[in-house]
Amino acid sequence: MTDMRSLNTLLALVEYGSIHLAARALFVSHSTASRQIKSLEDHYGTTLFERSVTGVVPTGPGLAVADFARRMVAESELLTDSFGTYSQAVETITIVTSTGLGQTVVADAINQVMTTTDQVQVSVIDRGSLGALQVLKNREADLCVNFSVSDQHTDAIPGVRQIDQIQARNFAVLDKKHPLARRSSLRIRDLADYPIATLSAGNTARMRIEQAVRAQGQVFSPTIEATCPVLTMRAVTGTKMIAMMAERTIPPNLAEAGCTAVELDDPGLDARFIQILAADPQRESDGLDLMIQALRRQLAPR
C-alpha cells in the first residue's frame, strides 16, 4: 500500500531532479524523502530513479508510477474538498520571505510545526527584502522572515512588529580545492581575481557586498546571479567561482557537495541580521504561536 506523502515526494523528485530540492519543496528532511522513495521502490520491486552526481532521473517504471501518483493526488484533492467543514478547521499561516531563507530557516521551521499538528497549513510568499516588508505591512502575510533592511527601522513601520532577530555572518562558499579554501577568513580584496556568484540585483545583501567591493576600488560584476542557495552551490562546485552567502542560508550538505564556507571578515561589510517580523496587531492563534517558536529555534545561537 502506498501513501500520499510518498507519492507527492515522488512527483516532486520527478519535477526537481534532486532529493534535496524535492525535500525542501515539501518541507521534509532529506532523509525522510529518501526513505519514502526507497519504500516505493521496495513496494513496486523495481528501481524508480537512476542516481548520479548531478541528480536523479526517473526510469520507465518511475514515470509509470508518477502517472499513477498524479491521478491519486488529484482524486485525493477532490475528496478533501468534499469535506468542507473539516477543511475550514485547518488554519492557514502565511509567511513572506526570500528564496534563500525560505529554503533553509523557514523550511526547517515549517517541518517542525508539521510534525506537531495536522491542523496547520503554511503558505509561503517569495519576495526580496523591501517587497517582503510591504507584503507584511499590507497584512497579506502573518509573518515575515527577512534580512534587516538598511535605513528601515521596523519599530517605525506601521503594521509591522519585530518578534526576534539574530546577527548573520557573511561567508564565501567555494570548492574545497579552491586556492582560498584553507584560509581562516577572507576579505573582499581576496576575491578580486575570481568569478563571483551572488544574489540578484536589488537585494539588500547584494547591495552591501557591491558597496564593499566599490570601496576597494574594484568593479563588481558577478558571473552568476541566483536566489536559490542550492543551485548556487552546485554552480560553485568544481570551479574557481566564489559564492556570497549569509549564515543560515548555506545548504546543509555543503561538505557532501565538495564545498566549504569561509567567513568574510571585512570592515567594508556591515553587520546583517535575520529578523522575524509579525503583522501588528498580531492575531491570536495557537498555530501562529507554534510557528513563531519554531522560527526562533532555527535562529537560536549555535
- Look at residue 225 in the predicted model and tell me its pLDDT: 78
**Backbone CA torsion sign across 291, 293, 299, 302:** negative
Strand 120-126 and strand 91-97: the pairing is parallel
DSSP label at residue 44: H
Note the pTM of the prediction, 2 decimals: 0.65
- Look at residue 181 in the predicted model and tell me its pLDDT: 95
DSSP label at residue 190: G
Residues of the chain with confidence (pLDDT) below 70: 1-2, 76-89, 149-156, 200-205, 208, 302
Cell readout for 165 is: 532577530
Indicate the burial class of 222 (C-beta count within 10 angstroms; 0-12, 13-18, 19 or more): buried
DSSP label at residue 191: G
The DSSP element (H or E) to which 135 belongs, if any, is helix 129-137
- Look at residue 204 in the predicted model and tell me its pLDDT: 60
**Backbone CA torsion sign across 198, 201, 205, 208:** positive
Query: Which tens digits make up the pLDDT trace of 212-244?
Result: 777 778 777 778 777 778 888 888 999 999 998
Alpha carbons 33 and 29: distance in angstroms, whole number: 6
At 157 the three-state DSSP class reads coil
- Look at residue 205 in the predicted model and tell me its pLDDT: 62
Long-range contacts of 216-222 (CB under 8 A, 24+ apart): 216/188, 216/189, 216/192, 216/268, 218/188, 218/189, 218/192, 220/196, 221/196, 222/195, 222/196, 222/197, 222/198
